[in-house]
Amino acid sequence: MKKVFKVFSMLFVLLTVLGVGILSAQTPQPAPQKKPLTLTNILVALGSQKIQDMDEKNRILIEAVIDRGVTFAVTPEIEDELKRAGASDILINTIKMKTQVSQPVNPQPTPAPQPQTDYATFEKRADSYVQRGRYELAIPLYDQAITLSPRTSSLYVKRGFALFNTQDYDLALADYNKAIELNPKDASAFFYRAQLHEKSGNLEEALEDYQKAVELDSNNEQAKNALKNLTARLPRPTPSPPQNQVASTGTTPPVQPPVQPSVTQPKVEPKNEPKSEPKNEVAKNQPKDEPKKVEPKPEPKPEPKNEVAKNQPKDEPKKVEPKPEPKPEPKPEPKPEPKNEVAKNQPSNPKPQVTEEQINSIIDSDLSDVIIGVGQITSSDIVRLVRPVYPQVAQKAGIGGQVKVEVTWDEQGKVISAKAVEGHSLLRGPCEDAAKRSEFKPRTIEGKPVKARGFIVFNFSR
**Model confidence over 39-71: pLDDT tens digits?**
888 888 888 888 888 888 888 888 888 888 888
Rounded to whole angstroms, the Cα distance separating 51 from 40 reads 17
| Domain 367-460 architecture | 2-Layer Sandwich (3.30)
Q: Identify the pLDDT of residue 17.
A: 62
Nearest-10 Cα torsion for 139, 140, 143, 144:
-140
Pick the closest to residue 460 from 411, 408, 390 (CA basis).
Answer: 390
- Rounded to 5 degrees, what are φ and ψ at 382? -110, 135
pTM for this predicted structure: 0.52
| Average pLDDT score over residue span 260-271 | 45
**Model confidence over 435-456: pLDDT tens digits?**
999 999 888 887 888 899 999 9
Per-residue buried b or exposed e for 404-414, using 16+ beta carbons within 10 Å of the residue's own CB: bbbbbbbeebe
Per-residue buried b or exposed e for 293-306, using 16+ beta carbons within 10 Å of the residue's own CB: eeeeeeeeeeeeee
**Model confidence over 99-124: pLDDT tens digits?**
755 544 444 454 444 445 578 888 98
Domain-wise residue ranges, the chain: 39-105, 119-232, 367-460
Work out the burial of residue 154: count CB atoms within 10 Å of its CB; fewer than 13 is exposed, 13-18 middle, 19 or more buried. middle
Rounded to whole angstroms, the Cα distance separating 143 from 122 reads 9
Answer yes or no: are the C-beta atoms of 403 and 200 closer than 8 Å. Answer: no
- Rounded to 5 degrees, what are φ and ψ at 225? -65, -40
Q: Identify the pLDDT of residue 363.
A: 74
Domain 119-232, what fold? Answer: 1.25.40
Pick the closest to residue 45 from 85, 94, 99 (CA basis).
Answer: 85
